[in-house]
Structure 1
């Protein structure tokens, strides 16, 4: 898994690209505090190499919790900037700092 960040000079925004290697998966989505945990609003596109990729624009100088939904199973990014315990889900969430 990978997260890449591209900061825009013209706006206080960072384009964050999520890449998930999941060749066997049919569907990968990302849900987080940036989309009110609505995975359906941020599906990732399957590439020819079998990985899934998608980009979201996030406000700079913020931290966002997120998790991937791979064929209905919630999972963290092993390369997240940090992790945050979530009482509601009783698990850790991945965190991206932008």
Structure 2
């Protein structure tokens, strides 16, 4: 059972930064998805792929994974670059 630990990115469709400070432990899929023959929806019998746990900090997520023997990889958060631009720069 393997998982990944990451920090949620900011939603590109909204200006708010809600839930971007929490860390997420998400289990990876153990079997491939396949289409349902009757409805055509894709799914699998893997129920662990539906589990998403949130933590206040990265260390808490790592401690949880270590406590329950989950092989977890931590994905580092890229640095946030702020591009400062003045309105007058549009007319140069």
- Give the TM-score, by structure 1 length: 0.31
Structure 1 or 2: larger helix share? 2
Structure 1 or 2: larger strand share? 1
Q: Please say which structure displays the higher CA radius of gyration.
A: 2
